[in-house]
Structure 1
Amino acid sequence: MFRSVLFLQYAIILAISFVSGVVCFQFFPLDKSMQLIGYIDPRILELTDISKLGTIIPLVAWMVLVLFFATHSYLHVLAKFVVAVKITFFGFSSVFLLTQQESLLVYSVWWFPFQLVYCFLLFVLCSVYSAKKVGPQKKYFFSQRLFVTVLVALSVICAGEIAAISYVLPRFQLH
């Protein structure tokens, strides 16, 4: 029961945040949108010159930020907020990619599937440090098994994204 409620909560946050990003894109002028995207994830602006390090750094930055808040006993609620901000950027940049010429394939092969999985895994990362009631007090536990599982899953997805960028996207892009 608890897991299904948690999944529902994450799905609602995902949907609302993604739609919020889509709506936010409508309020930004294109040059300001490109500037914001350039600060957060410049790969979206220059699809032909994406490095492996350029793929890893944004992912690690989001992971560190989520872990920082998730492992703090008073700030753990902000970890979900950080993931919601990531999803909002996901929606924002998705609209940007879809409004560019010839990027529907790039969006469907690279951006959407990988970012969606990253967002779900970041939600799971929010749960690595959880409270359990032991007697009259709450005790906090760090789930090493869950942390390692999420870390391995993120690494595998990141390797898949690098493969998609390196081998699949060049075949789809029209020059």
Structure 2
Amino acid sequence: MLMFRSILFIQYAIILAISFVSGVVCFQVFPLDKSMKLISYIDPRVLDITDISVWETVLPLIGWMVLVLFFATHPYLHVLAKLVVGVKITFFGFSSVFLLTQQESLLIYSVWWFPFQLVYCFLLFLLCSVYSAKRVGPNKKYVFSQKLFVTLLITLSIICVGEILSISYILPRL
């Protein structure tokens, strides 16, 4: 069991690294105006961090969670859940380069964007595991782990509150 978890961790780390670098490369390929347009569709907070509402923080997170859960709980499409997280990480890399290329954004990036988005990506990977196959004799039985799901919801909620506090109280003082 421990070996399986370590292999899964390595798999997630490789997906994270490749997807993040892919986002960096995509940013280099896109013209700046197209990059800004894409960012405005997915997470407009990256473009303007001065006036962010609570809903602008909560809704993108809920959208990614619903998308991951939709695929993770489907017996035939569960592999696509990891692909959705990979797309999220690609956007994370894409918008990270955007923030780092903007003047005076290093503090914003290091206090707000990078830590919270990295934790969200890891938690979304864990969300991919809430519905898994168990061997029962010669057959597979799919089991929804309610304990893991509730734990992830609580953890995601705590991280989201931390992000909102960071945006509301720490970023304005930088």
TM-score, normalisation: structure 1: 0.98
Q: Which amino acid aligns with 1:111?
A: W
**Displacement of 1:87:** 0.1
Q: Which amino acid aligns with 1:37?
A: I
Q: Match for residue 118 of structure 2?
A: 116
1:38 paired residue among 25, 37, 40: 40
**Displacement of 1:15:** 0.4
How many angstroms apart in 1 are the aligned matches of 2:51 and 2:37? 17
How many angstroms apart in 2 are the aligned matches of 1:4 and 1:51? 38
| Structure 2 gap ranges (5+) | none
RMSD: 0.3
Deviation per CA, 1:139-159: give whole Å up to 9, x if none. Answer: 000000000000000000000
Q: Which amino acid aligns with 1:152?
A: I
How many angstroms apart in 1 are the aligned matches of 2:153 and 2:82? 17
**Displacement of 1:101:** 0.7
Q: Match for residue 143 of structure 1?
A: 145
How many angstroms apart in 1 are the aligned matches of 2:11 and 2:53? 35
1:104 paired residue among 99, 103, 106: 106
Q: Match for residue 163 of structure 1?
A: 165
SS in structure 1 at match of 2:135: strand
How many angstroms apart in 2 are the aligned matches of 1:115 and 1:63? 13
**Displacement of 1:43:** 0.4
| Structure 1 gap ranges (5+) | none
1:127 paired residue among 124, 129, 138: 129
TM-score, normalisation: structure 2: 0.98
Q: After the TM superposition, which parts of structure 1 deviate over 6 Å for at least 4 consecutive aligned residues?
A: none
Identity of aligned residues (%): 81
**Displacement of 1:83:** 0.1
Deviation per CA, 1:41-91: give whole Å up to 9, x if none. Answer: 000011101111100000000000000000000000000000000000000
Q: Which amino acid aligns with 1:168?
A: I
**Displacement of 1:110:** 0.1
Q: Match for residue 52 of structure 2?
A: 50
Q: Match for residue 3 of structure 1?
A: 5
1:25 paired residue among 9, 24, 27: 27
Q: Match for residue 13 of structure 1?
A: 15
Is 1:80 aligned to 2:82, yes or no? yes
